[in-house]
Amino acid sequence: MTNNNDIRDGELELINKLTRHPLSKDDVYTFSVVLCDNEIDRDFERFSDNALDTLAELFKGVTGITDHDPKSSNQTARIFSCSSEFVPDKFTSDNKPYKRLLARAYVPQSTDSAQFILSLESGIKKEVSVGCSVKKHICSICGKDISSCMHSKGRYYSNKLCFAILDEPTDAYEWSFVAVPAQKAAGVIKNFDPKGDNFLTIEKRLFTGEEQSFTSDEVKELADIFRSLKQKAADGDIYRQSLVKNLKTLSAVAVPELNADTLEHITENLSVNQLNELINALEKKAADILPVKPQLFSGTSKNTNSNNNIYKNI
């Protein structure tokens, strides 16, 4: 951020478009701030050049707050002009012309704002992060949506770093003074979603066969998934054991010549579906050998006549 309390030509008119009552030059403190740029940030994401152009319009009139806390008491300043610009002879880490989003903001001069202005002048409040929404997160390797492709942010593919290109902004709702922004000069709010697509991204990373590092939120999600899978595996073992026990009983009837050790070895390599198929087959064979009969069945039918005596009054 560049401190500048000298209002430039035409800026007071822009400021007064945002106020209820006209302010004079002595009423306001103005400063310049780089909101964000097209450099790859700490989360392996960057804005496209076109996105910065769109954000330049979206951020006009947007209020600045502290630590992305949207309480009215946290409002600090307001942007009255914003533009995107290339910086001559400067390039990003992936060797593209460096482009940034430069805004001009104002703060009313008052007793209440004196401490805040002092923190700006002294360089205490400096780093900022922007809050916005974008429609596209494009993979730098394949050009597809990074949530559905096979590449992972922060990994290298044929010596090329994979990162997400943020494109087509739809909203710019705030910018904040923060201690540690995602970008070196600014940053982007990116909320972690412990459901849905994020697990697919983690799963892809796990099966790359390469060394991985995870955030604390990702570790927590993996721990929850592990506990759930562990319980399901225990339940599955109990069910499988019941199938094997049933299979051994049926085998003793249907295939008595089959050695118990051989059967044990066979069942070790069978899936649950295969065990059920074998049980169904042995149940049919066992039924032929030992047909199921009612407990009081006499072995002969009471209706020995073929002349429909059952329908006659006797």
pLDDT tens profile 245-286: 888 888 888 888 878 788 788 888 788 788 888 888 888 777
Residue 77: in which H helix or E strand, if any?
Answer: strand 77-91
| Banded pLDDT at 97 (limits 50, 70, 90) | very high
Average pLDDT for residues 112-135, to the nearest whole number?
A: 80
DSSP annotation of 145: B
**Structural domain harbouring 221:** 217-289
Query: To the nearest 10°, the Cα dihedral for 125, 127, 131, 132?
Result: 140
Tell whether the model's pLDDT for residue 56 goes beyond 90.
yes
Measuring CA to CA, which residue among 296, 247, 290, 253 is closest to residue 270? Answer: 247
Residue 226: in which H helix or E strand, if any?
Answer: helix 216-254
Which carries the bigger pLDDT value, residue 180 or residue 267?
267
Ranges 1-15, 27-41, 186-200: which has the least confidence: 186-200
Average pLDDT for residues 187-212, to the nearest whole number?
A: 48
Residues 168 and 81 in one domain: yes
Is residue 200 in some structural domain?
A: no
Last residue of a domain, one of 127, 161, 193: 193
**Alpha-carbon distance 196 to 190, whole Å?**
15
Is residue 294 in some structural domain?
A: no
Is residue 189 in some structural domain?
A: yes
Q: What SS3 state is found at 184? A: coil
Count Cα atoms within 13 angstroms, Cβ side, for 155: 21
**Alpha-carbon distance 7 to 9, whole Å?**
7
| Banded pLDDT at 206 (limits 50, 70, 90) | low
> Chain-wide mean pLDDT for the chain?
77
In terms of average pLDDT, the best of 11-25, 123-137, 166-180, 215-229 is 11-25
Is residue 276 in some structural domain?
A: yes
Average pLDDT for residues 200-218, to the nearest whole number?
A: 60
Residues 184 and 232 in one domain: no
Tell whether the model's pLDDT for residue 169 goes beyond 70.
yes
Last residue of a domain, one of 178, 193, 208: 193
Q: Please tell me the predicted confidence (pLDDT) of residue 76.
A: 78
Is residue 297 in some structural domain?
A: no
Query: To the nearest 10°, the Cα dihedral for 126, 131, 136, 138?
Result: 30
- The answer to whether 94 and 44 are in contact (CB under 8 A) is no
Q: Please tell me the predicted confidence (pLDDT) of residue 298.
A: 52
Is residue 83 in some structural domain?
A: yes
Residues 38 and 171 in one domain: yes
Which carries the bigger pLDDT value, residue 300 or residue 155?
155
Is residue 261 in some structural domain?
A: yes
Is residue 314 in some structural domain?
A: no
Q: Please tell me the predicted confidence (pLDDT) of residue 293.
A: 52
Residues 169 and 272 in one domain: no
In terms of average pLDDT, the best of 127-136, 187-196, 202-211 is 127-136
Residues 151 and 6 in one domain: yes
Count Cα atoms within 13 angstroms, Cβ side, for 279: 17
Residues 183 and 227 in one domain: no
Residues 91 and 159 in one domain: yes
Q: What SS3 state is found at 175? A: strand
| Banded pLDDT at 3 (limits 50, 70, 90) | very low
Residues 221 and 188 in one domain: no
Residues 36 and 152 in one domain: yes
Residues 230 and 168 in one domain: no
Angle at 249 between CA 243 and CA 252, to 5 degrees: 135
Ranges 77-91, 154-168, 237-251: which has the least confidence: 237-251
Return the structure tokens found at 17. Answer: 């478009």
List, in order, residues 6 or more apart from 104 with CB less than 8 Å away.
11, 30, 31, 32, 33, 79, 80, 81, 82
Tell whether the model's pLDDT for residue 142 goes beyond 50.
yes
Residues 111 and 245 in one domain: no
Tell whether the model's pLDDT for residue 310 goes beyond 60.
no
Which carries the bigger pLDDT value, residue 249 or residue 56?
56
Tell whether the model's pLDDT for residue 31 goes beyond 50.
yes
Tell whether the model's pLDDT for residue 53 goes beyond 90.
yes
Number of domains in the chain: 2
Average pLDDT for residues 66-71, to the nearest whole number?
A: 62
Average pLDDT for residues 190-207, to the nearest whole number?
A: 48
| DSSP H helices in 180-215 | 197-206
Residues 108 and 67 in one domain: yes
Ranges 59-63, 137-141, 211-215, 252-256: which has the least confidence: 211-215
Residue holding tokens 């721990």? 223
**Alpha-carbon distance 179 to 175, whole Å?**
13
Q: b/e map of 117-131 (b: 16 or more CB within 10 Å)?
A: beebeeeebbbbbbb
pTM score, two decimals? 0.55
**Backbone dihedral region for residue 68 (phi beyond 0: left; psi -120 to 50: alpha; all else: beta):** left
Residue 79: in which H helix or E strand, if any?
Answer: strand 77-91
